[in-house]
């Protein structure tokens, strides 16, 4: 059985590019944007739930009214 090996990095002496000085602020901004999108999605889900509750309520009231009405 042959063991899997990673890429051959022999002779690769390139330094890593420098990180931006404001990396922490950029990461924090990205985290805030992510949380903000999550809040917006949650609020949108609440609005849709309320709309669905109103629709189901209307349908139920309509069905109750139809059931209470004598035929003919």
Query: How far is it, in rounded angstroms, from Cα 36 to Cα 8?
Result: 43
Q: Which residue has the tokens 């069905």?
A: 63
Predicted confidence at residue 71, as pLDDT, reads: 80
Predicted confidence at residue 29, as pLDDT, reads: 97
Residues 38-71 pLDDT 10s: 999 999 999 999 999 999 999 999 999 999 988 8
* Both structure tokens of 36: 């903000």
Q: Residue 8 pLDDT > 80, yes or no?
A: no
9 falls in which pLDDT band (50, 70, 90)? confident
Mean pLDDT of the chain: 90
DSSP conformation class of 21: T
């Amino acid at each position: 059985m042959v063991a899997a090996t990673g890429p051959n990095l022999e002779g690769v002496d390139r330094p890593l590019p420098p990180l931006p000085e404001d990396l922490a602020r950029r990461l924090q901004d990205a985290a805030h944007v992510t949380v903000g999108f999550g809040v917006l999605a949650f609020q949108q889900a609440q609005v849709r739930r309320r709309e669905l509750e109103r629709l189901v309520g209307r349908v139920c009231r309509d069905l109750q009214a139809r059931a209470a009405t004598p035929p003919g």
